[in-house]
Structure formats: structure tokens, C-alpha cells
Structure 1
Amino acid sequence: MGSYDAAVKVILGHCRQAALEYFLGLQVEGSEILELPQETATFRRSDFPIRVRTSDGRVFVVLLEVQSRWERDLPLRLLEYDARYRLKTGLSVLPAVLLLTPSRAVVERFEDGGLRYAFRVISLAAMDAREVLDKGDPCLFPFVALMKGGS
């Protein structure tokens, strides 16, 4: 699955608008991938930090993480990226995970003490392949094999 993870990142690099619109339901007017300078030797960076401008004029950052499989520490990593991009850009952040394989361990919220953090999980295994094929956007076709009814 690691090679598919890398392939998905390449696809999203070229087809980010289609992905943002289909997977997150956004009406994208424009978008650009952001870079954040490395601050420490252990600094991890988000897969796809994207500044988005929607048709209604909102501007915010979408953090789109591509995950081959669910990892227990993913919510905390996402929170780390979220805080960094909020501080760096001064914009609000929409955090989302594109999950390539099904998992029973998935959560869309992290709570610990006074901390509560919510994010979106887009599970390809739960999506209908026929719907994507009917939409007819070639940018979305590579995801069909991972969707319900797509194999």
C-alpha cells in the first residue's frame, strides 16, 4: 500500500481542485500548496497544506493528510500541523484525512483533559465507486479501485 500512498500524493498534486471539491464538498475558486519552513530537526510536515479560496470568498487552509492505514497518533500529528499553519498563516484550518484502507479504529475527534480537537476522515472504502465513475472526472478515477464496488 505504500506505493499507492505515494501515487495518491502525486495524483493530488495535479488534481487538488477536483479532490477538494469531491471529497470535502468545497466550491474552490483557487488553491495553492503551502510550504512551511523547517524549524527543528524533528519537524514533520503535512502532506497537503493547501490555501483555498472558495466561491463565496472564504480563504482558509485545508490540511489534507493521506494515510494508507489508520495510525493511533494521527490525531495528535494533525493537531500539530493545524497549530503550525494557524500560527504561520493567521488563517483558519480545515483538517482532513484521506484514508486509503478501512479501519475499525478510526476516530474523528481527539479529547484529552481540556483539549478537544475535531477533524474530517474521508474513508475511500466507504465511498461508492459508481458515483465517482458517473461523475466522469478523470482526476478521481485512480481512487475507484479503493472504493466500495470498485474492484
Structure 2
Amino acid sequence: MEFEKCMNYPDIKHEFLGYLRYNSELDWYESQVVFYETQLTISISTDDNNKVESALYRVNSVVRELKHHAKSAKEYAVEQLLKLKNETWLDEGETLTSEEFKNRMTLEGLVFFPDGEAELYYNDGNLFLRHCILIKMDKHDCFVDASIRG
């Protein structure tokens, strides 16, 4: 990694994320990658010493396997949220199949934390009145929570 001085926090040059720039309002570094022709925001939280090395290690492993993780996250969302959608958030009384549910979800961003956890943020395709679908993954690539936000 190359470091270039920029304000209080240096930009970080990463092999496939390009330049990571510090966002002082959110207290993390940000970059973008293209995934299936969609621009994804990658956010990386710093540790207590304002370092990102441990989170960057996690970024490397998750982004290299993003196709697999994104598919698995959608399946996990179906397991956790489809019943809620069909029982509470009905559109004109019609229930959705798991495939219809997954097809409406679009990955928009990922957040990585120093402890190895990651969060995948999905546009809900108006499943939940334009709330975000958040899928949490632990450091062992196991999904541990699915919720709607916003």
C-alpha cells in the first residue's frame, strides 16, 4: 500500500479498490468497485489506532468472493425476511416467492470492520417501502443477522 498525505488521514492506494479516501463525517475510509455493472460503495472502519489493515485483509477475501457472498446473503435474507414481507408488508394482498424477493434486491454497498465483521447493504426494490436491507456477516463468513433499516 502507498500512502499519500491528505488532511489528517492519508489516502490509501489499494491494489483493486484504487484510492481509499477518509470520510471524516462517518469516520471511515471509502472506495468503490463495480459489481455486475453496479457501482458499490466500500466502507472500511478504522480500529482504535485509526488503522485499517485488519479490515483491509477482510475486504480482500470478501470482495474476491463477492459473487458467492452476495448470492448467499440474498438467500439468507429470504430465510429471515420473506415471511415478514408476506405477512406484514403486503402489496395488494399478493405474496412473493423467494425468487421474486431475491430478484428485487440490489447490492449497493459493503462496510467492513476491524473485528472481521462485514455488512452488505441492499436496495430493497420497494419490498419494504424503500427501506435498506442490511445483512451482517461474521468474520467466519456466516450470516448472523438480516434487518430492514431506514
What TM-score do you get using the length of structure 2 for normalisation?
0.29
Of Structure 1 and Structure 2, which has the larger fraction of its residues in helix? 1
Which structure has the bigger radius of gyration? 2
Query: TM-score if structure 1 supplies the norm length?
Result: 0.29
